[in-house]
Structure 1
Amino acid sequence: MMAATTAGLRVRLAIVSPYPPRQCAVSAYTQELVRALAVAAPQITVSLWSVDSTPVADHRPDVAGVIPAADLSGYRRAAQKLIRIGADAVLVVHEPGPHARHLLGLTAELTRAGVPYLIAPHELRWSVRPDQADTIAALCREAAGVVVLSEAAEKLVLAARMAPPERIAVIPYGVPPELTRPPSSDVDVRPELAYLLADRAPGPLLVTTGPVHPGRGVDVAVATLPLLVRRFPGIRYVVAGADDDLNAPLPGARYRAVLRRAAAARGIDERLHLLDAALAPPETALLLHAASVAVLPDLDPGITSSAPLVDALAAGLPVVTTAHPFARETSGRAPGHLVPVPPANPEALAEAVGDVLDKARRRHSPNRETDTSVTSAEHLAGLVHFVLLHRRHAGRTTGARATHR
């Protein structure tokens, strides 16, 4: 889609999404996307509109506007501002949550004004509630294109009839370039992480990265540690990620307390390290390159995307993960380096991790064939260009036909 006929097309793209200082998987995705778009598609001028509940004064200077997450009328007002500033197209990054349906006010205003929008629904799961599925379907109805992160997500959208196939574009997670090369020694690392990495204990290091909430199944991994200690006396486990309190029934701070109590009750509290922080890509690279195995024991077997899984494989790290659609899709591209296990089964998880540690005498090379963030941004830029050129040619908003694989 990045044909010569589109390369010079100047585009004003507005992105509506959670964004830092909000710490969640979706805000991290959007932050990396904005960075990569500046490299991959400088002809696209990005205007960032953050959906958040933090005060405007706390936001980064690159944020053009803030939509209070719970303010129903704020979404329509934001759309009217986007129309007034002359946005050519809008990318709406959707996350499930109590206020997701408010986005319909924004998309209705855009549709009324003839401004095409793309919808990028995140955290699509086969266990999606009917009301959530209805919201996604309503957002997709007038969208010029629907951006999903995997073929598994595409199958879900088609099976639920949320959008027709000709309007779905599969654009995988981008991988920050820091993950696919040896980490730099001069990275600015927060003290807690530096302390953990400086520990030269003669045993394997397990890691779980990404937002922390009960659905991640970290408690299942904690339950495996006593089983693994028998085979690997020096084993340690680092959980690095920020709390995701907005969409989790149990606040992250309380969940961490649960994990600490569980570790203490099992006598392995000194082996568990909970790092409450959303790591920057260079820090994530340092941690993943120092680790032995990534452990991703999510409780939901219906997951269709996972940034921590993609990041770990890109860094050359073996992954033991819950068997879900995205894991099955990804395993074909990472033979021998991704081991799926049943959810909520400490014994199966311990056996799989132990087998990986026994066999992985040497790490595999970083997966340099994994889509980088720049490649994913190029695909998105191509889709935006296609939508605008097709719209100008047809004289009206139409569906975007795309098949990025």
Structure 2
Amino acid sequence: MVLNRMRNIAFLSTYPPRECGIATFTQDLVRELDKIKLLQKPKIIALSNDDYKYDNDSVKMEINQCTREDYIKAAKAINNSSIELLVIEHEYGIFGGECGEYLLDFVDNLNIPFVTTLHTVLPKPSFKQREILNIIGKKSKKIITMSKNTVYVLENIYDIDKNKIEVINHGVPFRIMPARENLKDKYGLKDKNIISTFGLIGPSKGLEYGIEAVAEVVKKHKDIVYLILGQTHPCIKREKGEEYRERLEELVENLGIKDNVCFINKYLTKDEIINYLQISDIYMTPYLGKDQAVSGTLAYAAGYGRVIVSTPYSYAKEMLSEGRGMLGEFKNAYSLAKCINYILENPDKKRDMEHKTLKVGKTMMWESVAKQYAKLFITVIEDHKKEGSLVV
């Protein structure tokens, strides 16, 4: 492997200011990769939906996600550039066409090697979803997934070669934080037990069950404050306005727990997210989808050693194994409340869970994760060059 040359890579992804978890993920990874001297500053080919303007120097090209011709033009432009490797951040919904099928036009016209990071792995895909990921898997040099539980699915459902699959954890930004109680005091929450949930809000998050669980816990623990952090998902807001949030607020009112639930209705910065996590005694994800393979919000909570209470979706079961948190039942507020009460009433067990979670969380900081990505990217580039040199 050649180590004294800077490689030239690019990402196909959403990117800030687009308010999207994949955009934030890519920005965090690119910023960390930029510190690694074996790579040139990574470039971005950004997927756009005309709702915002890209003014970031890293964005070198845009694809209108609903314009099929843009994908072919972009692939040909990349072929004629100095880019040596493309990284595709894949989620069906960010690409145009049925289940994001326009991406296939892109890879069909791409002549340089590419790797694909999967943000969604469905164990029961539709025919179209399976077809797309199967083709991407065959053409990618590597498939990156963020959880071990998806490897079997990728092999057996999508027929992807196991030797192509790499597992790299979702990254978490590192900050040196003040003590939890000091930060609580700063937020006016001294002597409160804080539960939090953050991320873009929509019906799939199951927040009504989280609220009902808190109403049950309040019967025994009056000092609970549940922070619901984040704005409504832009796509949901565009289609249905604030209908879901308003239903949640009405539920809080009807349950008589206005003093115990606080909505922070904004798109949070990373520093805000980390501050709120630091003051949290429990992080809760009452999500409804049992097949969710990755959760960036749960990864952040694990990274900062929070005790996590969750429904047993795929990623939560993996991350909370070995005593790193507690799993309730889907659509069961009483089950979630039972978990919360146990944690509040057993401080020694809570500390043990925090310790176990933090041990794993330390391995998920972006510095460590980016080094794994960089090593993989360089290996793919060098292996591709060796393959080319063997062609007679």
For 1:358, the aligned partner's letter is E
Q: Whole-Å Cα distance in 1 between the matches of residues 390 and 330 of structure 2?
A: 43
Distance 1:102 1:13, change over 3 A: same
Distance 1:117 1:171 in 2: 17
- Superposed counterparts of 1:69-218, under 5 Å: 69-97=65-93, 99=96, 100-110=100-110, 114-178=111-175, 181-183=176-178, 198-200=187-189, 202-218=191-207
1:385 to 359, 366, 378: 378
| CA displacement, residues 75-111 of structure 1 (integer Å, 9 cap, x when unaligned) | 111112212222111001011227222111111111x
Shift of 1:195: 11
Between 1:311-320 and 1:269-278, the stretch displaced more is 269-278
* TM value normalised by structure 2: 0.88
2:331 to 344, 347, 354: 344
After superposition, the C-alpha distances for 1:21-53 in whole angstroms (9 at most, x for unaligned) are 111221111111111111235523311111121
Are the counterparts in 1 of residues 7 and 38 from structure 2 also a CA contact under 8 Å? no
C-alpha distance in 2, partners of 1:243/1:196?
Answer: 28
Q: Is 1:35–2:31 an aligned residue pair?
A: yes
Q: Select 1:232's aligned residue among 221, 234, 239.
A: 221
- In the alignment, which residue of structure 2 is the partner of 1:375? 368
Query: How far does residue 17 in structure 1 lie from its aligned partner after superposition?
Result: 0.4
Structure 1 residues 268 and 95, CA gap change in structure 2 (3 angstroms): same
Task: For 1:252 and 1:303, locate their aligned partners in 2 and report how far apart those are by CA, in whole Å.
Answer: 25
Q: Distance in 2 between matches of 1:174 and 1:293?
A: 20
Closer, same or farther: CA 276–101 of 1 in aligned 2, 3 Å: farther
Amino acid at match of 1:102: Y
In structure 1, the residue matched to 2:284 is 295
Instruction: Tell whether 2:7 aligns with 1:20.
Output: no
Distance in 2 between the 1:370 and 1:242 partners?
Answer: 29
Are the structure 2 counterparts of residues 170 and 337 from structure 1 closer, same or farther at C-alpha, using a change threshold of 3 Å? closer
8 Å CA contact 2:147, 2:293 repeated in 1: yes
With over 3 angstroms needed to count, the CA separation of the structure-2 counterparts of 1:245 and 1:231, relative to structure 1, is same
Structure 1 CA distance for aligned equivalents of residues 71 and 340 of structure 2? 46
Note closer, same or farther for the CA distance 1:92–1:208 as it changes in structure 2 (3 Å cut).
Answer: same
Q: Distance in 1 between matches of 2:24 and 2:53?
A: 20
The 3-state SS of whatever aligns with 2:154 is helix
* 3-state SS of paired residue (1:123): coil
The alignment covers a number of residue pairs equal to: 379
Q: Name the aligned partner's letter for residue 144 of structure 1.
A: K
Q: In structure 2, which of residues 324, 344, 348 is the aligned counterpart of residue 357 of structure 1? A: 344
Name which of 39, 64, 68 aligns with 1:68: 64
Q: SS where residue 370 of structure 1 aligns?
A: helix
Q: Distance in 2 between matches of 1:345 and 1:252?
A: 27
Question: Counterparts of 1:312-351 in structure 2 under 5 Å?
Answer: 312-332=301-321, 335-351=322-338
- Tell me if structure 1 keeps the 8 A contact 2:311–2:327: yes
Percent identity over the alignment is 20
Per mean C-alpha deviation after superposition, the further-off stretch among 340-349 and 80-89 is: 80-89
In the TM superposition, residue 215 of structure 1 has moved relative to its aligned partner by 1.0
Are 1:41 and 1:381, in contact at CA under 8 Å, matched by a contact in 2?
Answer: no
TM-score by length of 1: 0.86
Query: Cα RMSD (Å) of the superposition?
Result: 2.7
Are the equivalent residues in 1 in contact too, given 2:32–2:366 (CA < 8 A)?
Answer: yes
Unaligned runs of 5+ in 2: none
Q: Which amino acid is the alignment partner of residue 89 of structure 2?
A: V
Equivalent residue number for residue 268 of structure 1: 257
What is the deviation of 1:143? 0.9
What displacement does 1:348 show?
0.3
Partner Cα distance (1:118, 1:219) in 2: 38
Structure with the larger RCO, 1 or 2 (CA within 8 Å, 6+ apart)? 1
Is contact 2:193–2:280 with CA below 8 Å preserved after alignment? Answer: yes
Q: Secondary structure of 1:45's partner?
A: coil
Give the unaligned 5+ runs of structure 1. 186-193, 399-405
